[in-house]
């Protein structure tokens, strides 16, 4: 069965738009389509995603695993493992690398918990 050709009817609301207006409308629609994914990414993560973030920050897979495992243990995974490292580095005035290595070695976790208001 063929679909009826209703292109002209469906494009009627676009017919009077300039190229600039069409481009603006396109990006508005694209934003609306993608927004649920952006919202989901803000509120949901996983250990594999967080390890991937840390790998892209320059940490080894062993360092990333250690940091993520401890984030899970401390209830901080939802904050983002990279954010945890960055926040410690910022609070301590140290490099992200130094902060991450310290966390991977099991140090400074009490301080991190305090930075995020977690008492664990």
pTM score, two decimals?
Answer: 0.66
Residue appearing with tokens 């990333």: 64
User: What's the CA angle centered on 55, arms 49 and 60, to 5 degrees?
Assistant: 130
Average pLDDT over residues 93-115: 96
The domain limits of the chain are: 16-43, 47-115
**pLDDT at residue 92 in the model:** 96
pLDDT-wise least confident of 14-18, 35-39, 53-57, 99-103:
35-39
Residue appearing with tokens 């695993």: 65
Question: How high is the mean pLDDT of the chain?
Answer: 92
**pLDDT at residue 118 in the model:** 59
Instruction: Please report which confidence band the pLDDT of residue 1 belongs to, taking 50, 70 and 90 as the band edges.
Output: confident
Which sign does the torsion angle of CA 118, 111, 94, 103 carry?
negative
Please state which architecture CATH assigns to domain 47-115. Orthogonal Bundle (1.10)
pLDDT tens-digit readout, 19-61:
999 999 999 999 999 999 888 877 788 999 999 999 999 999 9
pLDDT at 17 over 90: yes
Residue appearing with tokens 């070695």: 105
**Contact, 47 vs 81, CB < 8 A?**
no
């Amino acid at each position: 069965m063929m679909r009826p050709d209703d292109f002209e009817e469906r494009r009627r609301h676009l017919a009077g738009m300039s190229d600039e207006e069409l481009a603006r409308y396109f990006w508005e629609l694209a934003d609306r389509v993608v927004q649920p994914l952006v919202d989901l990414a803000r509120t949901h993560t996983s250990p594999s995603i967080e390890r991937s973030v840390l790998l892209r920050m320059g940490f080894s897979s062993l360092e990333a695993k250690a940091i993520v495992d401890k984030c899970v243990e401390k209830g901080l995974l939802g904050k983002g493992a990279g954010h945890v490292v960055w926040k410690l580095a910022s609070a301590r005035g140290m490099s992200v690398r130094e902060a991450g290595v310290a966390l991977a070695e099991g140090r400074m976790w009490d301080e991190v918990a305090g930075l995020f208001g977690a008492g664990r």
